[in-house]
Structure 1
Amino acid sequence: FDHQLPAALKKLPFDRHLSLKNVQKVVTEADGYQPHLIAPEQGYRRLIDGSITYFKGPAEASVDAVHFVLKELVRKSIAETEELKRFPSLQNDIATAANEALERFREESRKTVVRLVEMESSYLTVDFFRKLHAAPEKKPEKNGNPPGPNNDHFHDTSLARIGSNVSAYIAMVSDTLKNTIPKAVVYCQVREAKRSLLTHFYAQVGRK
């Protein structure tokens, strides 16, 4: 968590997603050709949604990485338990039950971290938009005909500002997920492995 997750988050292609060309494309499609340039709300939301989606990959990778570590720990523990070496069938049953439990923990963990990412997308921090609306607005020139779709309606400065604002918001989300994803993974996988790795197995044995 200290190295792999932060490194994976840094490698996400936000520069490409928030390039001037893509910002113009997304904002234009979302808000039309004459949106409120300072805060085209639907454009912002689409850019943020598209950016946040990238977090799912590193989140799920964290789940898989912990799952692999737990499987290795189980394998080594079983292999190093001398008493079990005399009962290969029991050894195999325990290994199977433990791995099945780890799979369940992984699935629950995967659902949880994906929910964390989706929560960031479904509920945007209100203060973010308040600050945008409070920012000084440059009034458009009144002379000339209304710009058409192919005219240079979106000035580079406006596009750069939109991209910069979204980038700042995504950085805030990244810092949040950098803390919440490890907590969710530890809670759903490590904690459950300690508490109930073989609970289901013991219950089955008890019924026989």
Structure 2
Amino acid sequence: MAEGYLKGRIRREDIITTAVGVYAEAGYRASSLREIARRVGITHAGLLYYFPTKEALLAAVLERRDAEDTERERLSVPPGLDALRRLIALAGYNVRHPGIVDVYSRLAAEAVAAEHPAHDYFERHYATARRYVVDSFRVLAARGELREGVDPEFAGLNLVALMDGLQVQWLSNGSAVDLVGALRFYLQDLLTVPFDQGP
């Protein structure tokens, strides 16, 4: 039984690894579960045994991508101004990769329902993001780098929401929204120090 469980875990990891590559090749604009299954060397029905829906597989792909990006880009810098600069750098990356923004925005909207396969992923994703950004604003406040009267928690939660909202608007009309500029402006307005090391 333990051997079967291990084989199942290995196969599941193979599917996720392959799916990450297939989605990336397509710029996250399109994907085919049959193509992913073919590359793994299993049937379409076999893939559905591990991931019953495309959304369930996509949530696993996004989670894997998050973990790999954290390691590769060193996104786990300590909370503070450098962490917020990293967030703006991420927004700049997103502008260059609209497919991934589209996937995140669309799937996040669908995953509001608790029964959605990606609901738990987004619940964890946003909880982590909010905690990290709020902690960064608290560090700024402790260092005197946040304007007097600015509430760190409100500022942090608002930044996460602002980034999401701006990305959706940017997807609708990229030329009408300066995603990176708007986020920089929001941050600089709250700071007592220059925000001058962005992308």
Name the TM-score, length of structure 2 as normaliser.
0.28
When Rg is computed on C-alpha atoms for both structures, the one with the higher figure is: 1
Q: Which has the higher contact order (CA 8 A, sep 6+)?
A: 1
Name the TM-score, length of structure 1 as normaliser.
0.27
